[in-house]
Structure 1
Amino acid sequence: MHRAIYALARLSHRALRFASLAFAAAEQRLVVRNQEVLLAAGKEAAERRIERELERIEATMRRELSQYPTLHRRLCEQLAALDEDYVHSAEVPPEPSNWARAIRSVSEIPAQDDSVVADVLDTINHSMRKAESRALESYRESTRERHQLLKRMMPSWRAMLKTLGRINKNVESVIRRAKALDGHIERYEEIVQESDRGLRTLTASSFNRFLASSVFLLVVSAGILVNFQLIARPVSEIVGGNILLGNFFTADIFAFVLIFLQVGIGLVVMECLGITRLFPSIDALTDSTRRSLKWSAVILLLLFAGVEASLAFSRELLFERDQLLAGVAEGITGGLGETELHWTLLLAQMGLGFTLPLVLAFSAIPLEQFISSARTVLGMFLVFTLRLLATLLRLLALVSLHSGVILNRIYDLVVFLPLWLYKLYLRRQQDQKRAGTGREGQPAGINGKVGEGLPAEQAGNV
């Protein structure tokens, strides 16, 4: 029995150990597969970001810096003209000529005794003062012209500074784009090299995107329910509210189909705009075909929004009709304030019915993020589950291996009492047999039988 219990314990240990190794191998394969999927998704996302940054840099260069040679030539011409005007405006007054010094020397001759010389010197002095006055006036006029020239230079300076500021701003924008591009390329290199840091970053990003997209999809679900409440009653009047399809009303199914058609059209619009990439076939279309498809989807979405606005408008009217037919309402006996409130509610419902389909069209963005991140999160959850199962099976295998000894001890405790009783029984049998063998040498009766010829009590004892 001990050998059987030990054999059973070893068999269960080996079976559980084999199952644990199988789960561990499946976990390793799933980890490798998750890493491949995660790296592929991260690589594709990094390539898209790099492509987008390159497109932005190209658009900036084409829009702002394509006319840079012409602008540079114009700036050079303006700078040359400004420099020339500045040089002209900075001229200094000319030095006095030698003739003026000679006249000054003659005018210094003393003329107290000669009246002719005094008249000549007086005339020379008068002429010199007139010449000096004309020269000073001419210098002031030229200075005034130079100041006017400097004043006219200010708009050119301001225009040039504004142009240079715009160029500087564009260059700084390109530099920022280049730095962002360097960061994307660095992360792309980490993904290509399959580094641990890149894997941790991608894993954290997947969890963040999964949680954010889940929250947004919950909000979208609430918006779908609100939209359903707006159009359910009018749709039941159109389709018929008492027709059942299985366990559901046909009007409810039709209302949900109408809402999901709007979501699908919004998804097509997002695909044509290049915001999402859930359908590679749409991305593979030509630009003209995608443009035509985009405008067609936008027109259909606007038509659906208009239809929902009209259904939301008729919803309140249908409720009023039901109240009047049921005799619940007292009739329209209110004043102007109730009428204004009534039309305000109608317009609010119409606006809500028109804007909700347009808002639900953007649900394609969180839907794409949820689908792309759910694969990674689900894979990690499966890895954790397999790892937990492998650990539990390994623990059970260890318990089953040591349970053989425990079961043998329990078996010994259980079988102890009957074995002890059986042993007592065997000992009593041996004692009785030994006692019978010892009396074989005593005298027998007349017929040779044991106890014969003895008193009755002794014969009975024998």
Structure 2
Amino acid sequence: MSFQSWLLWPDNVPLSMLALVVVGMAFMYAARRPMHDLFRALGHMVGAPLRMAGRWLAAAAAEMNQRNKAVLLAHGRQEVGQRVEREFERLGAIVTRDLQGYPTLQRKLLDEITRIEEDYKKCGEVPPPPPDWTDAVAAVANVKSAGNELVLRVLEEIKRSVTGIHDKAIGEYRKAYETRHRILGSFMPFWRSVDKNLAQVEKNLASLQSSVTTVDAHMAKYEQINAGTDKAQHALTVSAFTQFAIALLVMAVAAGGAFINFKLIALPMSEMVGAGDYITSALRTSEVAALVIIFVEASMGLFLLEAMRVTHLFPRIASLNEVLRRRMLWIAFALLVTLAGVEAALALMRDMLIADKQALLQSLSTVQAGPTEGWVGRIPTAGQMLLGFILPFALAFIAIPLESLIHSARTVGGVLLTVLVRALALVLRVAGQAVRQASRVLIRLYDVAIVLPLLAERLVRGARRSGRIGELDVDAERTHA
């Protein structure tokens, strides 16, 4: 159908267009209320499910947040409980080690203090008083000689005797003081011993106090976790994200080590299982065999650490009795050592294959082979063998970051999923509100399209309202008249 068929007067296009616009406005004015209802129904039909889905996702996010909080607090409670248990064991060991020697130490201190006290009492003894003949000497000194020779001789003899006795008394007195000084000098070792013992006691008490402070900090954290405070939840969430990042970094480093290990044994494995054997068009059997060996080494390391109770990924292993657990430990260790030896042999085989290939290329070329390098040329071979033997043991410790990654991934994944669900709920609610507002905009645009009939309707209603008001005024005047 052509455009000319819609024209009422094909020769007069403007008049025909004007007639069509007038007819369209009349039709749209007649269908104004149904179209408004249609737009509202469409907005409600599209927007209501979006808003309902947004509210449901918001409720689901809140429920997920509560579940994540419960799991996070339970894991934190278990971890802090284990730390508190280890601190109590350490505290018990300190008390057993240090305090069990306190009776002996106390007895030693008492003996040393008693000996020091006895020596001090010896130092405090007063020398014996001078003999009684001093009074007699004083009486003789008062005798008048009067030039008598006999009296002078007696007095001189008495003087000589007194002088000798005085010198002897002074010597004994000095000797007694020297003895007391030696006793005081002998105090020093005992004082040093007492000081050393007291310093050891102070050190033990300081260590005990530090352990008690650590236990108090863990107990305070445990109480916060039991109370379910926001602070504890935030701290546990940050700790989980930190552990996840560190474990992911360590796993990336371990993946690099596994890649080096793969490159080290891939070539000799191709000689063992066949270089031309393919599982798929791009995957060789030798590569799969090398990966299997690496995964078996990692599994043996995991079982070894589980048997040592370093990790707790398999509770069944930790619950084994002591005999079975030790057997499993030694079996895993023996298999790990065997696989390490196999890798060392494969590394040697790789070096031999490379050497044979180089020898073949040199034999086919015109260049003569250079002299052998002796023991210097064996250094790369020894390094490859050592690397092949060490890498399995290094990969065995991948179980520790793997456990941390698994435990923290639950919290990290839950938090990220909650954020994603909340964001999706917000988007749906915004979309629902946008659809609702779009229906209102369509209603306004529809009214704009028929603005002339609406203006005419408004004028007619205004005229009718004015006429009714005039009639009411006339009736009122007649009533008053």
User: Would you call these one fold, judging by a TM-score over 0.5?
Assistant: yes
- Structure 1 residue aligned with 2:11: none
* Equivalent of residue 320 in structure 1, options 325, 330, 355: 355
- Structure 2 residue aligned with 1:36: 70
Give the AA of the match of 2:295: F
Shift in Å at residue 146 of structure 1? 4.1
Is 1:64 aligned to 2:98, yes or no? yes
Shift in Å at residue 145 of structure 1? 4.0
What's the CA shift string for 1:355-388, capped at 9, x where partnerless? Answer: 2222222222211111111100100111111101
Cα distance in 2 for residues equivalent to 1:144 and 1:413: 126
What's the secondary structure of 1:244's corresponding residue?
coil
- Structure 2 residue aligned with 1:177: 211
Q: Is the 8 A contact 1:107 1:124 kept in 2?
A: no
- Structure 2 residue aligned with 1:444: none
Query: In the TM superposition, what are the counterparts of 1:314-393 in structure 2 within 5 Å?
Result: 314-327=349-362, 333-334=370-371, 338-393=373-428
Compared CA separation, residues 185 and 105, structure 1 to 2 (3 A): farther
Compared CA separation, residues 136 and 267, structure 1 to 2 (3 A): farther
- Structure 1 residue aligned with 2:345: 310
Give the AA of the match of 1:310: A
Give the AA of the match of 1:86: Y
What's the CA shift string for 1:320-351, capped at 9, x where partnerless? Answer: 1121123379676336xx33432222222222
- Structure 2 residue aligned with 1:232: 266
Cα distance in 2 for residues equivalent to 1:318 and 1:266: 30
Query: TM-score, structure 1 length as denominator?
Result: 0.82
Q: Is the 8 A contact 1:272 1:293 kept in 2?
A: yes
Is 1:261 aligned to 2:296, yes or no? yes
What's the secondary structure of 2:259's corresponding residue?
helix
- Structure 1 residue aligned with 2:247: 213
* Equivalent of residue 55 in structure 1, options 66, 79, 89: 89
Cα distance in 2 for residues equivalent to 1:65 and 1:32: 47
Gaps of 5+ in 2: 1-34, 454-481
Cα distance in 1 for residues equivalent to 2:138 and 2:327: 94
- Structure 2 residue aligned with 1:293: 328
What's the CA shift string for 1:11-33, capped at 9, x where partnerless? Answer: 11211111111111111110000
Compared CA separation, residues 117 and 267, structure 1 to 2 (3 A): farther
Is 1:6 aligned to 2:43, yes or no? no
Cα distance in 1 for residues equivalent to 2:329 and 2:109: 44
Identity percentage of aligned residues: 36
Shift in Å at residue 396 of structure 1? 0.9
Cα distance in 2 for residues equivalent to 1:135 and 1:287: 81
Shift in Å at residue 106 of structure 1? 3.1
* Equivalent of residue 279 in structure 2, options 245, 268, 276: 245
Compared CA separation, residues 409 and 342, structure 1 to 2 (3 A): same
- Structure 2 residue aligned with 1:399: 434
Is 1:83 aligned to 2:120, yes or no? no
- Structure 1 residue aligned with 2:31: none
Shift in Å at residue 102 of structure 1? 4.2
Cα distance in 2 for residues equivalent to 1:296 and 1:227: 23
What's the CA shift string for 1:206-238, capped at 9, x where partnerless? Answer: 111111111111111111111112222222223
What's the secondary structure of 1:30's corresponding residue?
helix
- Structure 1 residue aligned with 2:477: none
* Equivalent of residue 167 in structure 2, options 130, 133, 141: 133
Cα distance in 2 for residues equivalent to 1:331 and 1:230: 29
Return 242-251 or 14-23, whichever deviates more.
242-251
Shift in Å at residue 90 of structure 1? 4.6
What's the secondary structure of 1:111's corresponding residue?
coil
Query: TM-score, structure 2 length as denominator?
Result: 0.79
Cα distance in 2 for residues equivalent to 1:258 and 1:375: 29
Q: Is the 8 A contact 1:270 1:276 kept in 2?
A: yes
Q: Is the 8 A contact 1:107 1:125 kept in 2?
A: no
Q: Is the 8 A contact 1:324 1:331 kept in 2?
A: no
- Structure 2 residue aligned with 1:189: 223
Compared CA separation, residues 64 and 306, structure 1 to 2 (3 A): farther
Compared CA separation, residues 11 and 286, structure 1 to 2 (3 A): same
Gaps of 5+ in 1: 420-462
Compared CA separation, residues 376 and 136, structure 1 to 2 (3 A): same
What's the secondary structure of 2:398's corresponding residue?
helix
Is 1:106 aligned to 2:106, yes or no? no
Return 114-123 or 140-149, whichever deviates more.
140-149
Cα distance in 1 for residues equivalent to 2:309 and 2:139: 93
Compared CA separation, residues 36 and 138, structure 1 to 2 (3 A): same
Cα distance in 2 for residues equivalent to 1:160 and 1:102: 52
Cα distance in 2 for residues equivalent to 1:312 and 1:100: 107
Cα distance in 2 for residues equivalent to 1:233 and 1:363: 25
Cα distance in 2 for residues equivalent to 1:226 and 1:105: 114
Shift in Å at residue 160 of structure 1? 3.7
Q: Is the 8 A contact 1:271 1:279 kept in 2?
A: yes
Cα distance in 2 for residues equivalent to 1:318 and 1:148: 84
Cα distance in 1 for residues equivalent to 2:295 and 2:143: 116
Give the AA of the match of 2:195: L
* Equivalent of residue 130 in structure 2, options 96, 99, 117: 96
Q: Is the 8 A contact 1:53 1:177 kept in 2?
A: yes
What's the CA shift string for 1:148-174, capped at 9, x where partnerless? Answer: 444554444434433332332222111
Q: Is the 8 A contact 1:112 1:118 kept in 2?
A: no
Shift in Å at residue 147 of structure 1? 4.3
What's the CA shift string for 1:294-318, capped at 9, x where partnerless? Answer: 3443333333333323322332222
Cα distance in 2 for residues equivalent to 1:266 and 1:179: 36
Give the AA of the match of 2:220: E
* Number of residue equivalences: 417
Query: In the TM superposition, what are the counterparts of 1:270-285 in structure 2 within 5 Å?
Result: 270-285=305-320
Cα distance in 2 for residues equivalent to 1:340 and 1:158: 60
Cα distance in 2 for residues equivalent to 1:356 and 1:65: 45
